[in-house]
Amino acid sequence: MPITLACLLPAPPTRPLCLCLLQSCTSVPHFLQIHAQMLRNRLFDDPFALGGTRYARKLFSQIGDRGSFSTNGLIYMYCACQRDDLGRRVFDFSRERDVASWTCMLSGYVSCGLLDRARCLFDEMPERGIITWNAMINGYMKSGDTDAAKELFDKMPNQNIESWNTMISGYAKCHQLDMARKLFDEMPAKNVISWSAMITAYAQGDCPFEALALFEEMRRLDVTPNCAAVVSVLSVCSQMGALEQGTRVHSYIEMNKMNLDPVTGTALIDMYAKCGCIDRAVKVFDALVPKDVFSWTAMIGGLAINGHGAEALELFGQMDRDIMK
């Protein structure tokens, strides 16, 4: 028997819990299960039947003591399920709209790829918060319209660190590394996400020396790198066959007791294997818990490229047995 959401809810469920689940829901089936539980436990003012395009309006009208939390939860859920039309109905029928409600609807349009509608809503807003500006900039960057994003960025009354990071990541994904670095250098303050974004941009943009230099500068300034920065640098070391630098990164991980998760572990295995140190790769693999399919694949591939075909086949069989458990 499949496990349903109802099995995980306390008996009886509470309104705050259901509304919280409603806001985090990204699946229509789960949404309907929550709705059914609210009906069954009389957490609406009155029970009602679902009905076509009137569903959003009817549902919203039945939530007693509603506020922006309920409204935003419904808008978010509908847009996450690519039903921006129903999200807009909830927004339009809301009696009280605050900045969060407008921003939630705008972000919904952005997530659905409807930038023209998002911009129209942005221009209509009676007031805008910094999260609203960042959401619109992020939408433009995801679509590759860096000019529109930069125009909005320059017009922002106040820019926070997320604004800068969004621009840097966006330029990097659009392969405009010079612009990304220019903004990185101009930032009034940087956090680990800023450093990680720029290092990853260099690593993925075929600029390995720049990535390594920036990682060393990050360490020199006592900024603790996150997993993304470490994995990006290890990837660069793999590409270059830079064993010495890769070993230093591994030592840094151990000295700072950083979590060796499957992503970081796989990057270490790949680096050692491609640098010809298969014994070290095996040592990392054996110590890695848990292992995912990428960890197994990296180790099998590493054995194969280092002339250990029989061991690679044996490990493949072991992977097949372990994954099937």
pLDDT at position 72: 76
Nearest to 135 by CA among 122, 116, 151: 122
Q: Give SS3 for 64.
A: coil
- Give the start-end residues of each E strand in 31-133: none
- How confident is the model at residue 37, as a pLDDT? 65
Amino acid at 323: I
Q: How many CA atoms lie within 13 A of 144 on its CB side?
A: 2
Give the pLDDT score at 63. 47
Which single residue is written with the structure tokens 């010079």? 178
Boundaries of every domain in the chain: 1-121+136-143
Range 233-238, long-range pairs (CB < 8 A, 24+ positions): 233/199, 233/203, 234/264, 234/267, 234/268, 234/270, 234/271, 235/203, 235/267, 235/270, 235/271, 236/202, 236/203, 236/208, 236/211, 236/212, 237/212, 237/271, 237/275, 238/267, 238/270, 238/271, 238/274, 238/275
pTM of the model: 0.74
Q: Which long-range contacts (CB under 8 A, 24 or more apart) does 87-90 make?
A: 87/56, 89/53, 89/56, 89/57, 90/56, 90/57, 90/60
> Hey, how many other C-beta atoms are within 10 angstroms of the C-beta on 144?
13
Instruction: Choose among 161, 105, 168: nearest CA to 141.
Output: 168
User: Are residues 295 and 262 in contact, defined by beta-carbon separation less than 8 angstroms?
Assistant: yes
The helix (H) or strand (E) run that includes residue 121 is: helix 115-124
Q: Which residues, 6+ apart, have CB-to-CB distance to 311 below 8 Å?
A: 303
Residue 95 in 3-state DSSP? coil
**Which residues have C-beta within 8 Å of that of residue 306, sequence separation ≥ 6?**
273, 276, 278
pLDDT at 10: 53
For the CA atoms of 19, 20, 24, 27, what is the dihedral angle to 10 degrees? -40
Write out the two tokens for 190: 């940087």
pLDDT of residue 47: 33
Q: Kindly give the confidence (pLDDT) of every residue in the chain, 325 residues in length, as a single tens digit, with 9 standing for 90 and above.
A: 344 544 545 556 666 666 666 656 556 566 666 666 665 665 544 333 333 334 444 454 544 444 444 677 777 777 877 888 888 888 888 777 788 888 889 999 998 889 999 999 999 998 898 999 999 999 999 999 999 999 999 999 999 999 999 999 999 999 999 999 999 999 999 999 999 999 999 999 999 999 999 999 998 999 989 999 999 999 999 999 999 999 999 999 999 888 889 999 999 999 999 999 999 999 999 999 999 999 999 999 999 999 999 999 999 999 888 776 6
